[in-house]
Each structure stands twice: as C-alpha cells, then as structure tokens.
Amino acid sequence: MRIAMGVAAGLLIAALAGAPPAAADPADPAPADDPTSCNEPACVPGIQPGAVLGAPCEQTTYYVFGVTDWGRVVFCGSPRRYAPRWFRSTELRGVKLEGSNCSGRDGEMAQAPDGLFLSCDARNGASTWTRGDI
C-alpha cells in the first residue's frame, strides 16, 4: 500500500512540475526578447481558456482576455455599474506598448507587456494604444 501511495504521489508531483520549457522556435509568433513583436492572439500571455460568453469574470484591468471553447476571443468588462462578464472582443492585435501608434486600428484591442488591457483610440488627431479600462 505504501509503495502505491508513493508511486501515486510521484506521478502527481511529476504532472504538476510539467515538462521542461522547450527551446525557442524561430517560427514562434513572439520572440521572448521582444514581447511587442506579438501581433496576434496566439502569442498574448495570460489568455484564460474556457471563457463563456456572458458569464461572470473577475479581472477588468490586467490579463482580461479569454477564449471560448470554440476559439472566440473575449474580454472581461464591466458595463456601467454592472458586475464584470465576458464580452466578444474586437480584433486582438497582440502585445503593444501603451501610448504607441495604432493608426488604422481604431476600436481594436491589445495587451501591454505587463498585462494591461489596451484599446486603440483616436484622440486629438492621433490613434494610440490607451488603457482599455477607463
């Protein structure tokens, strides 16, 4: 019995530890040394899998993006004074720097390297990535 428990514990620890990190693949969408080279949802860190459109969610400022079981990108937002929930996302353009130019992408979304939710907004004649939570 003790051997079986030891084997089970060993398997659990191995499963939790996971495989060692893989070497960087030159075809990866975002090289680790430049997170802003990420231009698509596939390389955005922190996307929550299994999000359900319209279901409650918690985080509306950092790491707000999720993906449904059928592959739809959604974001966690709080309309007016209501509790946050998952909404359909406009085009998710990857990882961008707050304040950088986003001409031609008005209304689209991105994530800053620190996980901040960004939206492309046109103000004062320029389109820039701004905080999406305000």
Report how many domains make up the chain: 1
Q: Can you say whether residue 86 is alpha, beta or left, with left for phi > 0 and alpha for psi between -120 and 50 degrees?
A: beta
Q: What element of type H or E holds 92?
A: strand 92-95
Question: Are the CB atoms for 119 and 107 separated by under 8 Å?
Answer: yes
Look at residue 69 and tell me if it is in a domain: yes
Across the range 32-48, mean pLDDT stands at 87
Q: Is the pLDDT of residue 34 over 90?
A: no
Question: Are the CB atoms for 67 and 49 separated by under 8 Å?
Answer: yes
Q: Is the pLDDT of residue 4 over 50?
A: no
Question: Could you list the residue range(s) of the whole structural domain that residue 90 is in?
Answer: 29-131
pLDDT digits (tens, 9 = 90+) for 14-28: 333 333 333 333 344
What is the DSSP secondary-structure string of 39-90?
-SGGG-TTPEET--TTSB---SSBS-EEE-TTS-EEEEE--TTSPPEEEE-S
Q: Is the pLDDT of residue 30 over 50?
A: no
Look at residue 98 and tell me if it is in a domain: yes
pLDDT higher at 34 or 119: 119
pLDDT digits (tens, 9 = 90+) for 60-114: 999 999 999 999 999 999 988 899 999 999 999 999 999 999 999 999 999 999 9
- Predicted local confidence at residue 14, as pLDDT: 37
Look at residue 104 and tell me if it is in a domain: yes
33 vs 109: CA distance, rounded Å: 22
